[in-house]
Amino acid sequence: MPFFKFIDYLTFEKNYSDHTVKSYRSDLSSFADFCKEEYRVIEIDRVNYSQIRSWIVMLSESGISNRSINRKISSLNTYFKFLIKIKEIQVNPLAKHKALKVAKKIQVPFSDKEMEQVINLISEDDSFSGIRNRAIVELFYATGIRRSELIALKHKDIDYSKKTIKVLGKRNKERILPLINSVLETLQKYEREKREMGAKEKEYFFITNKGLKIYETFVYRVINSYFGMVSTKVKKSPHMIRHSFATHLLNQGADLNALKELLGHSSLAATEVYTHNDIQQLKNVYTNSHPRNKN
């Protein structure tokens, strides 16, 4: 069936992560259930745009945001493009579809002070978990790596002599990132603690208190708990530290192309999202300094 061929295509040819493939599968299954219940259509490769539009209306009326609906439609569109590629269909029913309008979300990064407060807070805890959590926060803030990249980090990926780490990013693209001395010291301290506790996990760098490889919700809870003590911002996640890393570098005059390489973005457009706060800072300086505005 085309559906299973599509999942294999995403997994083995596109090298998408398990999480991404799971999202595609969920979106397509949701649409398939809708077609079966509303139109008695079994194969979604036989639908028309009118039926897809009905699904969009149903999703909207159920309270799902336009952003989420667009993501689901994007999954469906990718599937139809795959069907054309393997010659199962000749026309993409979504060819002329226009995405729903989405209000731009401005993500406010953690301030320098908030980052410093969290690091100081964790530094007070000399237990294994405290040292590990400090290593996680410092590594996030020093490199801007993604949560999945941190989880996948292995001992062999850290080169203390060259002061670098090797990161496996999206589409299995590797990049080498520099490490500052303070972070190297924290990582080394964590490694010593890990050896002393006799952890069974020898390959992956970060482990839980039980000696197992860390996982997504574990990392989220670590970040959310510490930043919840110092910040009133609604979103307190690993991605917000990545956002803070990028924004703070730009505010200090970092080159956008260099930042693109550090973040592992495939295009400069993805990196430009982080320029908002830099522009806002310039606006504030201008507003507070211009003679005409003072009058």
SS3 for 169-230 is CHHHCEEEEECCHHHHHHHHHHHHHHHHCCCCCCCECCECCCCCECCHHHHHHHHHHHHCCC
CATH number of the domain encompassing residue 219:
1.10.443.10
Do 53 and 140 lie in one domain? The reply is: no
Do 158 and 268 lie in one domain? The reply is: yes
Do 223 and 186 lie in one domain? The reply is: yes
Residue at a domain's end among 41, 68, 85: 85
* Domain extent at residue 21: 2-85
Evaluate if residue 110 carries a pLDDT over 80: yes
Do 228 and 182 lie in one domain? The reply is: yes
Do 61 and 121 lie in one domain? The reply is: no
Number of domains in the chain: 2
The strand pair at 164-168 and 174-178 is best described as antiparallel
pLDDT of 183 reads 96
Stretch 12-27: mean pLDDT: 91
* 43 half-sphere exposure, CB direction, 13 A CA radius: 10
Q: Is residue 294 part of a domain?
A: no
Do 45 and 142 lie in one domain? The reply is: no
From the candidates 132, 134, 146, 194, which is the catalytic residue?
Answer: 146
Q: Is 170 annotated as catalytic?
A: yes
CA dist., res. 59 & res. 132, Å (int): 42
Evaluate if residue 282 carries a pLDDT over 60: no
Report CA torsion sign: 127, 129, 132, 136: negative
Q: Is residue 106 part of a domain?
A: no
What share of the chain in percent tops pLDDT 90?
68
Stretch 72-85: mean pLDDT: 95
Q: Is residue 128 part of a domain?
A: yes
From the candidates 170, 175, 213, 276, which is the catalytic residue?
Answer: 170
Evaluate if residue 275 carries a pLDDT over 80: no
What share of the chain in percent tops pLDDT 70?
92
Q: Is residue 162 part of a domain?
A: yes
From the candidates 132, 236, 243, 265, which is the catalytic residue?
Answer: 265
Evaluate if residue 48 carries a pLDDT over 70: yes
pLDDT of 219 reads 96
From the candidates 134, 242, 243, 248, which is the catalytic residue?
Answer: 242
- 183-236 pLDDT, tens digit per residue, is 999 999 999 999 988 887 889 999 999 999 999 999 999 999 999 999 988 889
Do 203 and 254 lie in one domain? The reply is: yes
Helix, strand, coil % in the chain, rounded to nearest 5: 65, 5, 30
Q: Is 239 annotated as catalytic?
A: yes
- 152-170 pLDDT, tens digit per residue, is 999 999 999 999 999 998 8
CATH number of the domain encompassing residue 73:
1.10.150
Angle, CA 116 vertex, CA 220 and CA 253 arms, to 5°: 100
- 214-225 pLDDT, tens digit per residue, is 999 999 999 999
Evaluate if residue 126 carries a pLDDT over 90: yes
Of residues 99 and 273, the one with the higher pLDDT is 99
Q: Is 9 annotated as catalytic?
A: no
Q: Is residue 198 part of a domain?
A: yes
Q: Is residue 135 part of a domain?
A: yes
Long-range contacts of 184-191 (CB under 8 A, 24+ apart): 184/160, 186/131, 186/134, 186/135, 186/138, 187/135, 187/139, 187/158, 187/160, 188/160, 189/131, 189/135, 190/131, 190/132, 190/134, 190/135, 191/155
Q: Is 155 annotated as catalytic?
A: no
From the candidates 213, 233, 239, 276, which is the catalytic residue?
Answer: 239
Q: Is residue 179 part of a domain?
A: yes
Strands (DSSP E) found in the chain? 158-159, 164-168, 174-178
Evaluate if residue 41 carries a pLDDT over 90: no
Q: Is residue 204 part of a domain?
A: yes
Q: Is 79 annotated as catalytic?
A: no
Give me the residue label for tokens 């731009």.
104
Q: Is 286 annotated as catalytic?
A: no
Residues 113, 65 contacting (CB under 8 angstroms):
no
pLDDT of 119 reads 94
Of residues 50 and 201, the one with the higher pLDDT is 50
